[in-house]
Structure 1
Amino acid sequence: MKPICFSRTLRTFALSAALAAPVLWAQAQTLTVVMQGGLRVMDPITSTAFLTRDHGYMIYDTLLGTDAHFKIQPQMADWKASADGLRYRFTLRSGLKWHDGAPVTSADCIASIKRWAEVDSSGQVLLPMIDSIEAVDDKVFEVVLKERTTLLLEGLAKLSSRPAFMMPKRIAATAAATPLTEYIGSGPFRLVRAEFKPGLKVVYEKNKDYVARSEPASWTAGAKLVGVERVEWIAMPDAMTSINALKNGEVDFIQQVPYDLVPMLEHQKNVTVQVLDKLGSWTYFRFNHLHPPFDNKLVRQAAMAAVGQEDVLKALVGNPKFYRTCAAVFGCGHPNGSSYGAEWVIPSDIDKAKALLKEGRYDGMAIVVLQPTDVAIVAAQPIVIGAALRKAGFKVQMKTMDWQTVVTQQGNQKSPQEGGWNIFATAGLLATSGDPMTNTTVGSNGRKAWAGWPDVPAIEVLRQRYVRSTDLAERQSIAVELQKLVIDNGVVAPLGQFLIPAAYSTAISGVLESPVTVFWNIKKSAK
């Protein structure tokens, strides 16, 4: 037997370790994520899509944040209000830079606020209440109100959809209806534009110039400390592929786990399954009010009566521990929640639907229902809706596409015969749906409203009353009135509430519970 040469063995081991170390370091510094779908729509002001919003939180920042106690906190700026509540002075904190190295200025923020307010449901109500918004110097600007309102701070701190993200003035000068072509923010991550593959892959790198706040991270407030060098969003349309990739350590995080696949991960030693948004979401469908047949209130009511929430939730979720039926536009369990309409919004009442169709003189024209096929959380609703409408006597045409195409189609105001739509379904956060300003679906100012474009002046009058009131009992009374108007006019058709499980590798820590998916505060260890 030949003697073992320990010096050679040690040299070989040392070389192997040296070669492996950079690989392990690179793995530990890159967070690989499977989001709900592939990102294509990147402007978080023109779009209300959650995926686009999540992208916004990666690269942009907000003047104010909202913590887990629903308290508004300073983020990019602190503020002081005058004794009469009409003058707000915002002071940008030190060290804020855009990703191109330029300093963040008051002029940038003013331009960003104006672009956001053009299209946001809160901003549109706020804008007429502002007397002036002017820079004092490069770091200080003032907003002078015509009347007292809590909406200024609430709007700038809103979580979703369409948060008031700050952008450089030259970018924010783009008309709000025109999608951006340049994506520069001041947030904790930078977009790696050269590696962006629409619908397939998005890469973000740590913004080493980002100066975080000192407070603990809480929802969108506090310290946004980045613990990895890169975050890669990759699209995996096949859910089973993403589940196996997580089990095998090939991906680190799945934003939304299909409910029927949760049992495959619950007992995996290297995987954590967790509901990160404890308040949950609600799902609903929207009508196009501009074109027949849903320009007729009776026909909208017929469709709402036809669709049963339990049918939708069974198809979407399946497991009752993750869902509940609910007719409240502002959320069951919320102080503004109301059960008005529950007797015909929650169950499927085909006879009522048929009677309403007859009264509304529906002529049998085809109903175009947008049907996304690649995002599980919005794929089941159109199928159930379509089946229920057919039972009631509607002629239904399902129009299949990926979710990001649905997002772009939502803003199409042309008739269905010219490429538009009649119905689409989506979901919203309960954390931001509890009042008529942050709840995007309630706005009813015609073509200025969110997709569907309902025009119900009485709703707008009540929204104005709500925002001017500081009395909780009065606000709750207004919310009850709004529930009745929203349901009776078919502004939005509630389909119930649900929780969404996420899953992630035990190699990562610091995952925040939050209504929005955020990737700061996360660290990853080498495998």
Structure 2
Amino acid sequence: MRMITALLMGTALTILPSSLFAQEKGGVINVATIGEPPTLDPMASTADLVGIVTQHIFETLYTFDKGWKVTPLLAEALPEISADGKTYTIKLRTGIKFHDNTDMNSEDVVASLNRWTKLASRGKQVAGFIDSITATDPSTVTITLKQPYAPLTSLLAFNNSAAIILPAEKQAEPMTDFIGTGPYMLKERKADQYIQLTRFDGYKSREGAGDGYGGGRHQYLDEIRFVPVPDPNTRVEAAVSGQYDYIDSIPVESYARLQGSSSSEPVMLKPFGYPISVFNTAEGSAKNVEIRRAIRQALNMEDMMAAAFGSTDFYALDGNIYPASFVWSTDAGVAGNYNVADPEAAGAAAKAAGYKGEPIRILTSRQYEFHYKMAQVAAEYLKLAGFTVDLQVVDWATLTQRRADKGLWDIYITHSPFLPEPALIGTLSTSSPGWWDTPERDASVDAFTAEVDPEKRVALWANVQKAIYDDVAFIKIGDFNAVAAKSKKLQGVDPAPWPYFWNASIAK
């Protein structure tokens, strides 16, 4: 399938390729994250923070290269796909060891994929299309589908709700043994203090240089420590002072300060992704699609984006889920439904839909400061429309727990990078918090995922976007650039939506 070469990996910071540095082995880096991950089981969570940490411990059969094409990781090569598109034969790399020094084989892969289809939201997304997953021989796995399913390899490659490979005997739910095949292994986790990873000496890297998340994964560092720093202002000060080697998710207004730091430098991904308001379509006031439409009608996306990002250097108004640089870009469903900003008309529409003043419960977190700022602006516009608003500000781990309960919320604020395959968008899954499940959703998404012809899939994606707008599964607010910071001594770290450090080193 033709994949997308997008601007996602672009950066405002000039970074030389890792191959130009004489990287030395040794040292420890400290990475400041937005908080404590709710779990270290990447199957059990769609939180980016979980993926950022656990991608160093666990690996998938495939991953993405720097051009966002699927590339082998634990698999030897891309799958052999039968002419009817229903049989995927996957050859595995040999000599791969888990952190307990046992060898990976096809039985481990089968057990892991079965766990993924049962537990992970994206695995559940695939499960209905799978007829069987079998171990053909010790180094071959065969996946047989009931019908063609084009996104399969992309879903197997994604590090979010990830199809990680675990030892067959360590498939507990919830996970009790954090044993993967990754270049680093878990040594210690102290809640709200740090997660300590150490080099796995038995790791077998792929050949060659790093290529996005693919290619060689070299272990220059002795240790990686992920430290939760929930307050964004504290992360800024830590970046300016050089307290940490990498600082994730920096408020964009600090960009100029970082440019003046003697210790750190800013890293900007442009465009990075899009913030969204996700609706609970299963229970509560937002179950009513007319109420969801009235809420969308009230909101001023321009004011929300300006409050969150300040300058248009860091954001753009765009109702298309994918921007113009992506082949998936379409304006289907956007006209008349994006940035309407008419609270008075929204109030009348809500009343006509039967709204009687029930609180609209909005979940947000200040660990992503831009989420909180957008939620504040949204709350004011909803109040102007006559809605009663209950703005609940919690830490990110609590938010990810609460959003799993249909009875606790009506809207939650989140964001996503622009993903290379639209089927990776979490809200398309009926099991994802939001629980969007309508006939229009089923018809459009099923047709899109069953089609294997790239050009036909682009047209079918337009139907999916229209269904999202018609059903108001979520509201896209705009496009934004993401800012992080890195030490000037840290080498081999390329800008990425989920930063990784297996090819990182410290300049001596």
TM, length-normalised to structure 1: 0.86
CA distance in 2 between partners of 1:408 and 1:283 (Å): 19
CA distance in 2 between partners of 1:383 and 1:71 (Å): 38
| Matched letter for residue 310 of structure 1 | E
Aligned twin of 1:284? 276
CA distance in 2 between partners of 1:150 and 1:490 (Å): 25
| Matched letter for residue 516 of structure 1 | W
Q: CA deviation at 1:112?
A: 1.5
SS of the residue 2:91 aligns to: strand
What's the CA shift string for 1:222-252, capped at 9, x where partnerless?
1111211111111223444333333433311
Aligned twin of 1:310? 302
Aligned twin of 1:271? 264
Identity %: 25
Aligned twin of 2:163? 164
Identify which of 384, 404, 407 aligns with 1:411.
Answer: 404
CA distance in 2 between partners of 1:410 and 1:133 (Å): 31
What's the CA shift string for 1:276-328, capped at 9, x where partnerless?
x4441110011112223111111001111112111111121112111111112
Pairing 1:400–2:386 present: no
CA distance in 2 between partners of 1:33 and 1:425 (Å): 25
* Structure 1 residues 278 and 165, CA gap change in structure 2 (3 angstroms): farther
* Structure 1 residues 83 and 396, CA gap change in structure 2 (3 angstroms): closer
Aligned twin of 1:430? 418
Aligned twin of 1:65? 63
| Matched letter for residue 363 of structure 1 | K
Q: Please identify runs of 4+ aligned residues in structure 1 that moved more than 6 A.
A: none
Q: Considering only CA atoms, is the larger Rg found in Structure 1 or Structure 2?
A: 1
8 Å contact from structure 1 (residues 307, 388) kept in 2: yes
* Structure 1 residues 377 and 189, CA gap change in structure 2 (3 angstroms): farther
CA distance in 1 between partners of 2:336 and 2:81 (Å): 48
* Structure 1 residues 231 and 223, CA gap change in structure 2 (3 angstroms): same
Pairing 1:108–2:108 present: yes
SS of the residue 1:363 aligns to: coil
Between 1:51-60 and 1:31-40, the stretch displaced more is 31-40
| Matched letter for residue 431 of structure 1 | L
8 Å contact from structure 1 (residues 59, 185) kept in 2: yes
Between 1:246-255 and 1:511-520, the stretch displaced more is 246-255
8 Å contact from structure 1 (residues 39, 200) kept in 2: no
8 Å contact from structure 1 (residues 371, 400) kept in 2: yes
Please report the RMSD computed on the Cα atoms of aligned residues, expressed in angstroms. 2.2
Pairing 1:440–2:419 present: no
Q: CA deviation at 1:94?
A: 2.5
SS of the residue 1:503 aligns to: strand
8 Å contact from structure 1 (residues 200, 235) kept in 2: yes
* Structure 1 residues 524 and 262, CA gap change in structure 2 (3 angstroms): same
CA distance in 1 between partners of 2:444 and 2:220 (Å): 45
How many pairs align? Answer: 482
8 Å contact from structure 1 (residues 442, 492) kept in 2: no
SS of the residue 2:419 aligns to: helix
CA distance in 2 between partners of 1:65 and 1:99 (Å): 20
| Matched letter for residue 415 of structure 2 | A
Aligned twin of 2:287? 295
Name which structure has the greater RCO, CA cutoff 8 Å, separation 6+: 2
Task: State how 1:26-37 maps to structure 2 within 5 Å.
Answer: 29-37=27-35
CA distance in 2 between partners of 1:27 and 1:387 (Å): 53
Task: State how 1:48-447 maps to structure 2 within 5 Å.
Answer: 48-79=46-77, 80-81=79-80, 83-84=82-83, 85-118=85-118, 120=120, 122-159=122-159, 161-172=160-171, 174=173, 179-193=174-188, 196-275=189-268, 277-339=269-331, 340-413=333-406, 415=407, 420-432=408-420, 434-435=421-422, 437-443=423-429, 445=430
Aligned twin of 1:476? 458
Aligned twin of 1:10? none
Q: CA deviation at 1:459?
A: 1.3
8 Å contact from structure 2 (residues 89, 142) kept in 1: yes
| Matched letter for residue 182 of structure 1 | D
TM, length-normalised to structure 2: 0.89
Long gaps (5+) in structure 1: 1-25
